[in-house]
Structure 1
Amino acid sequence: MNGGPVRLHAELEKRFVEIVGEKYALRLSEEIDPFVTEPRGLFGGVTSLVLRPGSVEEVSRILSLATETGTPIVPQGGNTGLVGGQMPDQSGGEVILSLSRLNRIREIDLESNTATVEAGVILEVLQKAADEQDRLFPLALASQGSCQIGGNLSSNAGGIGALAYGTARDLCLGVEVVLPTGEVLDDLRKLKKDNTGYDLKNLFVGGEGTLGVITAAVVKLYPKPRGRVMAWAGLGSPEDALKLLHMAGSAAGSELTAFELMHRRPLDFVLAHVPGAKPPLEGEHEWHVLMEISSGRSEEEASATMEAVLGEAFETERVADAVIAQNEGQAAELRHLRESMSEAQKPEGGSIKHDISVPVAAIPTFIAEAEAAIQEIVPGCRPVCFGHMGDGNLHYNVTQPEGMDKGAYLEHYRAMNAKVHAIVRRLGGSFSAEHGIGRLKREELIATQPPVATELMRRIKRAFDPAGIMNPGKVI
């Protein structure tokens, strides 16, 4: 850490430590550093104390004490967030509450197709546990080896599977939440139909820890597909990709489980910087699509549907080349190319990020208008466009021109965001599709949403957290 943090008053720190025990109260800088360093390096934080409770009762006592003493609490899961929502500020007076020890899968109910899991369960662990029971938990993220279910829910994570299965919010049936007062809301219901008043759980799902701490949840499982077939296609334009999406949707319906659009540049970055990465196709293509079709009946049926879609696309000249993965190993290689695109940008220098969504039909328009806008701000900048075209969500990142000073380039962050987000709003879209608001987008949210929406959010915040201790400075 840079410099020494401002420590809590010794007596107050002692009271917090007594709740979790010395072993699970981190106070040394080398222990704390991983909790105050986030993936983008944009939001360095400072704290003198990280608490790692091992039970809901301990979380309750921590929050009760925090409300009593006015101590700000920053809940944290796997620390994979990209908007600073899991980071303390620079004051040193905020306490990090790590949920990593609440990591039990309490139940997998095959009859109701649900899993009841604690907040600290790593996403990949839940995926594997479901798979062992011949079930699918469809939330899939590049960070799934380290992100945690509580963080996924608090940020309403999306990912590749959102096209067919929805976001984390759509996959959640019930929650267990500790309120700032220490009260516990036990709403761990498995019901798909429940029309009893306000849907309280969805105030916490997507709330980024500003209203309470999710300690457990009931999530949906699905029958595991009997056949899953993945293909990679090379195309000439986003318009061709949109036509391909329509063809695939018409042929596969709900069995179209992934449709990812990628410009050639992020693929070039992966091939240049990710060891072992191989070109998926021969020749050069300006745009690429990664597509998956899943069948509940057989591999043969999924293959036949994929072949029919690509056959029509070749006949109508929407696709120039394509390859269908012949086994899971080949499919994993194709997925790895897509999942490596965020990381592969780093060696190319500074990157200005946009996590946007627009109506699917507007994606070609957005890409064209955004390209023109960013070149006006920084001539020679390099758009790195990829994302979940099937649900309208693109990661429109812009890498610095070759040879430009990184610091000088990043000074254009706000101006470029403003231009790109103005296009998004005009097209009826969102400037925060799946990464959340956190610290990065808080001011823009307040500046651009209807004033009545901001006031309603503030009323909710005051009602749930009158002492203002929950993740201050985030979202609202």
Structure 2
Amino acid sequence: MTATRNPTQAFLDEAAALLGPRGLTRDADLIAPWLTDWRGRFTGRACAMASPASTAELADLVRLCAAHGVPIVPQGGNSGMSGGATPDTSGHALLLSLRRMNAIREIDVESRRLTCEAGLVLQTLHEAAEAQGLRFPLTLGGKGSATVGGLVSTNAGGSQVLRHGSMRALVLGLEAVLADGSVFSMLTPLKKDNRGFDLKQLMIGSEGTLGIVTAATLRLVPAVAERVVIWAGVPSLQAARALLLHCEDAANAALEGFEVMPQACLDAVLAHLPGARAPLDGAHRWHVLIEVVADRATAATLRDRCEAMMADAFERDLLDDAAIAASESQAEAFWLLRESVAPAERARGPAVQHDISVPVERMPEFVDAAVPRIESAWPGTEAVAFGHLGDGNVHFHVIAPRVTDAAAWQERDGKAISRQVHDLVTAWGGSISAEHGIGQLKRDELARLGDPVALAMLRAVKHALDPAGLLNPGKLV
């Protein structure tokens, strides 16, 4: 008498036959590193991990999952901030790794575009573009692990959004596998296309809940021939905003980045980073990091133009002090201070992090109002805001007082603090997620604070494209 196999085992047998030994594993040791999110807040289980080698193979796998009712959790570099690529604890879902699908299909130097698969790592993309005298103008701290599919699915941002926009502005074409296994293919970019909805934009930022991104055509720009990096000290965030407007007028499209941090953040970095030095003498309430770039045609005059821009800012009393990096190594040292804010904060102890945005012109006023309000409501905490002032997005972090049980503080006070921060952001007409996505971390907060009409539209689209709810369940909506 032959024992009847349960549907899960039947599915695993068929998936193994479809993908082969490289394409499917149930080895717990191999799967374990991918079951916990980057921040360590969520840990799940999976029935197996699939690693298809092509779009066609993935489409067959998705059809198989649909037939057996197996949920799919797509994952790129597992460097997300909101738990959007971590399965739940049931063990029923299939963890889908796109890392084998990492080919560059085409680089068109004349048209300045590149078509690649979803598993391509951002740093490899940068290197491929640079080899052709071009660049992909989006970078972030996790560039050595973040993949194109993850960047598209979360509509990633970073320090260059001020000039070039987020992934929405950089994706020219898209390929994705839908919940029924059909392939949405719109990789060829058109300058003008009025055939209804822009369906690729529907996929961008949907966090794998509407379809699984398999490839993208991306916009490239000319390589930077010269850059000038400036560190400035200002008395307030309002002064930083005035300096931003001045730099936008003076540098125009050459203004690549404009980052801010308070003195407390810089102090933490200097204490954490061996050999780090403050760029300016003395303390300043706020610090500004500015980057201006030029192509070959305008490189020769860039430094002179930046020196004139900053001299004019001094004359207008827009800043207290400033230093222009004298070399590329000094420019990198300036940026390292900015990029080390998060590691320095983690070294201090537990904190709750909020990736928020409000209208650009209101950010100084919001920070000035929110910081004392949170610190007053939660004695012993320290609230700090830093990040991309130019696009209205700052990271608003609340650092815990000295506690003996970090997990208990996160669960008790941390969640309540986040609710209050999100309430403030919503009252100011902002967003509780500016660039890190919703995932499972902010799903309930989105449901609580989101516009009911917008939420209904999101859910309707989700139901239309994934009626069985098998694509990245429990995330976003």
TM-score per shorter chain, which class? over 0.9
Does 1:241 find its partner at 2:240?
A: yes
1:305 and 1:383 map into 2 onto residues whose CA distance is 36
Q: Which residue of 1 aligns with 2:456?
A: 455
Q: Which residue of 2 aligns with 1:271?
A: 270
CA drift of 1:18 comes to: 1.9
Specify whether residues 199 and 174 from structure 1 end up closer, same or farther in structure 2 by C-alpha distance, changes over 3 A only: same
CA drift of 1:302 comes to: 2.0
2:9 and 2:50 map into 1 onto residues whose CA distance is 15
Look up the SS of the partner of 2:472 in the other structure. Answer: coil
TM-score (norm 1): 0.96
Q: Which residue of 1 aligns with 2:3?
A: none
Specify whether residues 420 and 93 from structure 1 end up closer, same or farther in structure 2 by C-alpha distance, changes over 3 A only: same
Q: Which amino acid letter does the alignment assign opposite residue 93 of structure 2?
A: E
CA drift of 1:281 comes to: 2.0
Whether contact under 8 Å (1:38, 1:44) holds in the other structure is yes
1:276 and 1:22 map into 2 onto residues whose CA distance is 48
CA drift of 1:406 comes to: 2.2
Specify whether residues 8 and 94 from structure 1 end up closer, same or farther in structure 2 by C-alpha distance, changes over 3 A only: farther
Q: Which residue of 2 aligns with 1:474?
A: 475
2:43 and 2:264 map into 1 onto residues whose CA distance is 30
2:195 and 2:174 map into 1 onto residues whose CA distance is 15
CA drift of 1:450 comes to: 2.1
| Greater mean alpha carbon deviation, residues 361-370 or residues 162-171 | 361-370
CA drift of 1:293 comes to: 0.9
Q: Which amino acid letter does the alignment assign opposite residue 44 of structure 1?
A: T
| Greater mean alpha carbon deviation, residues 196-205 or residues 402-411 | 402-411
2:78 and 2:45 map into 1 onto residues whose CA distance is 15
Q: Which amino acid letter does the alignment assign opposite residue 33 of structure 1?
A: A
CA drift of 1:8 comes to: 7.7
CA drift of 1:373 comes to: 2.0
2:182 and 2:78 map into 1 onto residues whose CA distance is 25
Specify whether residues 109 and 46 from structure 1 end up closer, same or farther in structure 2 by C-alpha distance, changes over 3 A only: same
Whether contact under 8 Å (2:46, 2:87) holds in the other structure is yes
Whether contact under 8 Å (2:231, 2:288) holds in the other structure is yes
Whether contact under 8 Å (1:373, 1:420) holds in the other structure is no
Does 1:355 find its partner at 2:355?
A: yes
CA drift of 1:278 comes to: 2.6
Q: Which residue of 2 aligns with 1:173?
A: 172
Whether contact under 8 Å (1:229, 1:299) holds in the other structure is no
Query: CA-atom RMSD, angstroms?
Result: 1.5
2:445 and 2:190 map into 1 onto residues whose CA distance is 36
| Greater mean alpha carbon deviation, residues 374-383 or residues 215-224 | 374-383
1:174 and 1:436 map into 2 onto residues whose CA distance is 21
Look up the SS of the partner of 1:345 in the other structure. Answer: helix
1:184 and 1:276 map into 2 onto residues whose CA distance is 52
2:205 and 2:7 map into 1 onto residues whose CA distance is 30
Q: Which amino acid letter does the alignment assign opposite residue 428 of structure 1?
A: G
Look up the SS of the partner of 2:114 in the other structure. Answer: strand
Q: Which residue of 2 aligns with 1:261?
A: 260
- Give 1:177-188 correspondences, 5 Å limit: 177-188=176-187
Q: Which residue of 1 aligns with 2:333?
A: 333
- Give 1:150-229 correspondences, 5 Å limit: 150-229=149-228
Aligned length: 470
Task: Describe the superposition over 1:263-320 as per-residue Cα deviations: whole angstroms up to 9, x where unpaired.
Answer: 1222222222233433222222221111011123333322122212211222233322
1:328 and 1:109 map into 2 onto residues whose CA distance is 30
1:209 and 1:238 map into 2 onto residues whose CA distance is 37
Specify whether residues 214 and 150 from structure 1 end up closer, same or farther in structure 2 by C-alpha distance, changes over 3 A only: same
Runs (5+) with no aligned partner, structure 1: 1-6
Q: Which residue of 1 aligns with 2:128?
A: 129
1:276 and 1:192 map into 2 onto residues whose CA distance is 49
CA drift of 1:422 comes to: 2.2
Specify whether residues 438 and 270 from structure 1 end up closer, same or farther in structure 2 by C-alpha distance, changes over 3 A only: same
Q: Which residue of 2 aligns with 1:3?
A: none
Specify whether residues 85 and 403 from structure 1 end up closer, same or farther in structure 2 by C-alpha distance, changes over 3 A only: closer
Specify whether residues 225 and 23 from structure 1 end up closer, same or farther in structure 2 by C-alpha distance, changes over 3 A only: closer
1:299 and 1:109 map into 2 onto residues whose CA distance is 25
Look up the SS of the partner of 1:407 in the other structure. Answer: helix
2:25 and 2:340 map into 1 onto residues whose CA distance is 33
1:405 and 1:367 map into 2 onto residues whose CA distance is 29
Q: Which amino acid letter does the alignment assign opposite residue 293 of structure 1?
A: V
Q: Which residue of 1 aligns with 2:442?
A: 441
Whether contact under 8 Å (1:226, 1:299) holds in the other structure is yes
Whether contact under 8 Å (1:8, 1:93) holds in the other structure is no
Runs (5+) with no aligned partner, structure 2: 1-5
Does 1:119 find its partner at 2:118?
A: yes
Q: Which amino acid letter does the alignment assign opposite residue 265 of structure 1?
A: A
Q: Which residue of 1 aligns with 2:310?
A: 310
Q: Which residue of 1 aligns with 2:22?
A: 23
Whether contact under 8 Å (2:358, 2:430) holds in the other structure is yes
Look up the SS of the partner of 2:92 in the other structure. Answer: coil
1:18 and 1:76 map into 2 onto residues whose CA distance is 22
CA drift of 1:57 comes to: 1.1
CA drift of 1:102 comes to: 0.6
1:447 and 1:382 map into 2 onto residues whose CA distance is 26
2:476 and 2:246 map into 1 onto residues whose CA distance is 39
| Greater mean alpha carbon deviation, residues 185-194 or residues 169-178 | 185-194
Q: Which residue of 1 aligns with 2:322?
A: 322
Q: Which residue of 2 aligns with 1:98?
A: 97
2:181 and 2:356 map into 1 onto residues whose CA distance is 36
Task: Describe the superposition over 1:22-41 as per-residue Cα deviations: whole angstroms up to 9, x where unpaired.
Answer: 23322222111111122211
Does 1:148 find its partner at 2:164?
A: no
Whether contact under 8 Å (2:11, 2:64) holds in the other structure is no
CA drift of 1:192 comes to: 2.8
| Greater mean alpha carbon deviation, residues 390-399 or residues 218-227 | 218-227
1:207 and 1:153 map into 2 onto residues whose CA distance is 9
CA drift of 1:447 comes to: 1.8
CA drift of 1:168 comes to: 0.4
1:20 and 1:325 map into 2 onto residues whose CA distance is 52
Whether contact under 8 Å (1:227, 1:301) holds in the other structure is no
Q: Which residue of 2 aligns with 1:429?
A: 430
Look up the SS of the partner of 1:376 in the other structure. Answer: helix
2:179 and 2:22 map into 1 onto residues whose CA distance is 24
2:290 and 2:164 map into 1 onto residues whose CA distance is 15
Whether contact under 8 Å (1:116, 1:216) holds in the other structure is yes
2:162 and 2:235 map into 1 onto residues whose CA distance is 23
- Give 1:320-399 correspondences, 5 Å limit: 320-399=320-399
CA drift of 1:225 comes to: 3.0
Q: Which residue of 2 aligns with 1:412?
A: 413
Instruction: Give every structure 1 segment of 4 or more consecutive aligned residues whose post-TM-superposition deviation is greater than 3 Å.
Output: 402-405
Q: Which amino acid letter does the alignment assign opposite residue 304 of structure 1?
A: D
Look up the SS of the partner of 1:289 in the other structure. Answer: strand
CA drift of 1:128 comes to: 1.3
